[in-house]
Structures are given as C-alpha cells and as structure tokens.
Amino acid sequence: MINNKHLFYLIIFTQFGVAITSFPNNMYKVAGHDGWISTLVGGMIVQILILLYYSLYKKFPDKSFTDYTKIITNPFIGTCINICYYAYFLYVVLVVSMRFSDIITIWIFPKSPSWLILILFLLTAYIVAKNDILTIARTYVLCTFIFLIFILFLLSAYDNVHIGRILPIGQYPIKKIGSGAYSSFLEMLGFEIFLFIAPNFQDTKKKLFTLTFANFFTTIFYTFIIITSYIRLSNKENSYIIDPILYIFKTYHSKMIESLDTIFLSLWTIVICATVVSYIYIVSEDVHKRLSLIVKNRKSILLFIIIVVFAFYPLVSFHLIRRETIVNFGSYLDPLFIIIIPCLLFLINKVRGLIN
C-alpha cells in the first residue's frame, strides 16, 4: 500500500528518464529559444490529462486501468486494449534501454561491448522490480539525492551564462511553440502509471494534489534544465549539440574534479533504470493478475520481459531493424495510448452514464 509521498516519487522517477540529456536540443529544433515556454505549456497539457485520468480513477477507485477497460467496453475488447498497452509499455522499455546503451557508448564507454552493460542494466531492473510496489517506491525515495546532485551540477553551469540568449521572449510563432509544447509533453510521459498502480493506493486524501505537485515539480525541473542549457550555450551550439546537458557538464573544470558528465550519467543511470523498473513492474504485475492460474510466479514473467527486451538488441545492432524506425514508431503510439484511448474510455463512460 503506497501513500501520497510514495506516489509522488514513483511518478517523478518514471517521468524523468533517458530523454533528459537531449531534451533542450529537441526543443530547440522545434521551438527555438522559446522552448522553455513550450515546456511550461507542455506541463499544462500533462495537467489536463492528469485531471482526466483522475476523474477516470474516481469513477473506479481500487481498480487498475486494465480492469476498467473491460468494464467500460466489453471483456474481449478490453483484453485487446490491455494487451496493446502491455506491448506499448514493453516498447517504451525497449526504447529507453536502447537509448541508454547508446548514450553510455557515446559518452562513457566507447569501446566496451554495450550488450554487457545492457545486461547489467536489465538485470538490475529485474532485481528491483521483483519487489512489491511499496519497496520500489521506497527505493526511489532513497535515490532522491540524485536530483539534488543534478541541481548542484546544473548550478555549476551558471558561472558563464548570458541571459540575452533567450531574449526576446516569444519571438517564435505560437504554432511553433505549440508543437514544441506537444513534443515536450511527450518527454514528460510516465504519469500514466498512476492509472495502473491505483489498486495499491492507501486510502488517503489529496491524491490530485500529489499528482499536480509531481507534475509541477517535473515541469519546473524541465524548464530549469532547458533554460540553463539555452543561456549557457550559444544559439548555434544549442541547435547542433545533441546532448547539451552532458556537453555543459563536460566543459566543467575545477581543481578537484573535471568532466561532470561521467559522474552525472553514472548517477542518472539509476533514474533511467527506475523508469524501466516502473514499466516492467506494471506489466508483470498486471499480467500476473490476469494469468495467475497459469503463471504462479511473477518473477518468471519479469524474466520473460527482460529477455524479450534484450532479444531486440541484436536485431538493432545488426541493423536488421533500423533504430530510427523503432523510435519514430513512438510518435504514433504515444498519443494513441496516452491521450486517445483514455479519452475515448472516459467519453464512453460519460455517455453510458448519461444514457442510464
């Protein structure tokens, strides 16, 4: 049973992930130096979705999302939707792990075999995810120090900033800022796990407040990152450098320590792993609930998931499937699973309520 504090940490650790290093660059491509406005707007989109999710949750408290797909539609369609969701989550895990092994190869271990690191990464995720949800949440609470270190590192970039680089504010057209908001919203995914872990909630009040606060934290943090990147690096640098955050950290010099990027990435590995843990926990737990008669042990499902994810690695590394294909696939899947299906379910439920 998890309380509000645990819910908060579960959500922020799932929201922050591997995308953070390249986030300012992605935003710069879309919305120029007004990307930070887009981030704030993106946070508002997330907030609207959270309200929607919350009203869904209020309709069916103590039930998981996979339960009420069946109730709202019918068991068959519901099962289909659920299977799609499982596949989608596995896809997210796959993308995150691929991106993780890429970043590690580029920034830390250019010559090491990345499959070995991926094995350790997935194994850790397995070991953590085989615990119950409360243990996972408590583990995240213990890992909060990473965010403090991250903020500290970001502050170190402020010795050479030029605020004029984000001026004038609002130079880009609203359309661009809007599409930037959409892409920043895609980076903030992870709050949807709220619907799936709902059966584990303690009966506490102020859930919506917790969710809002988590979203607020994430939005502010992303904005902070993006502003730091924009005022630290010149506009040209911002448009070319793929991982600006790591680049900023790499340029740090002092008498004690240099290239903070290595330290940051190593610590951030925990947060990336936490994202994977959240998703594979949800999938394994839910599948286990449905198939408890066939599969006695949740660990075997977890192991299966890990192996499936890892099985994609050779396919990608031997270019049988192009990496871009996999990643681009996400631009169709994300809106479908995060926005459209929950919205449809919500509408169907509303209409049904009106008819009855």
Partner 1 sequence: MEVNEKTSMLEEVQNEFHSSSDFKYKKYSIGEVTLHLCYLDTMIDSEVIQTHILERLVSKDHSGRIITTILDSDDAYTLDECIQAILSGNVIVFNDNNKNKAKSYSAPSNNSDRSITESSTETVSLGPHDSFVESLKINSTLIRKRLRTKELIIKNITVGKKYPISLSIIYLNDITPQSMIKTIEQKIKKLELSGQVEPKKMIEAVHIQNSIEEYPTSIFPQVMYTERPDRTIRHLITGKPAIIIDNDPNALLFPYDIYGYFRSTEDFNFRWLFGVFFYSLRIFAFWIAVLIPSIYIAVTTYHSNILPVSIFYTLKLSIENVPLPPLIEALTMIIILELLKEAPLRLPNPIGSTIGTVGAIVIGTAIVQTNLISNSMVVVIAVTAIASFSLPSREMSIAARIMGIPLLILASIFGFIGISLGVFMIFAHLSKIKAFSFRYVENPGFSEFVLFKNRKGKSS
98 vs 177 by CB, closer to partner 1: 98
79 vs 262 by CB, closer to partner 1: 262
Could you give the count of Cα atoms lying within 13 Å of 65 in the half-sphere of its Cβ? 27
Least distance CB 250 / partner 1 (angstroms): 9
| DSSP secondary structure string for all residues of 26-78 | HHHHHHGGGHHHHHHHHHHHHHHHHHHHHHHHHHSTT--HHHHHHHHS-HHHH
63 vs 138 by CB, closer to partner 1: 138
Tokens 């406005």 belong to residue: 37
Least distance CB 106 / partner 1 (angstroms): 13
Least distance CB 255 / partner 1 (angstroms): 6
DSSP bridge pairs for 201 = 2
Least distance CB 5 / partner 1 (angstroms): 12
157 vs 270 by CB, closer to partner 1: 270
- How far is residue 291's CA from residue 296's CA, in Å, rounded to a whole number? 8
135 vs 202 by CB, closer to partner 1: 135
313 touches 287 (CB < 8 A): no
| DSSP secondary structure string for all residues of 269-283 | HHHHHHHHHHHHHHH
Least distance CB 3 / partner 1 (angstroms): 13
Written as one letter, the residue type at 327 is V
**Helix %, strand %, coil % of the chain (to 5):** 80, 0, 20
Footprint on this chain of partner 1 (rule: CB under 8 A) = 104, 108-109, 116-117, 120-121, 124, 127-128, 131, 135-136, 138-139, 141-143, 253-260, 262-263, 265-267, 269-270, 273-274
49 vs 118 by CB, closer to partner 1: 118
37 vs 274 by CB, closer to partner 1: 274
Least distance CB 31 / partner 1 (angstroms): 33
Least distance CB 256 / partner 1 (angstroms): 7
List CB contacts of 211: < 8 A, sequence separation 6 or more.
7, 11, 50, 53, 54, 191, 194
Kind and range of the H or E run holding 237 = helix 235-240
54 touches 207 (CB < 8 A): yes
Residue 57: CB atoms within 10 A of its CB come to 22
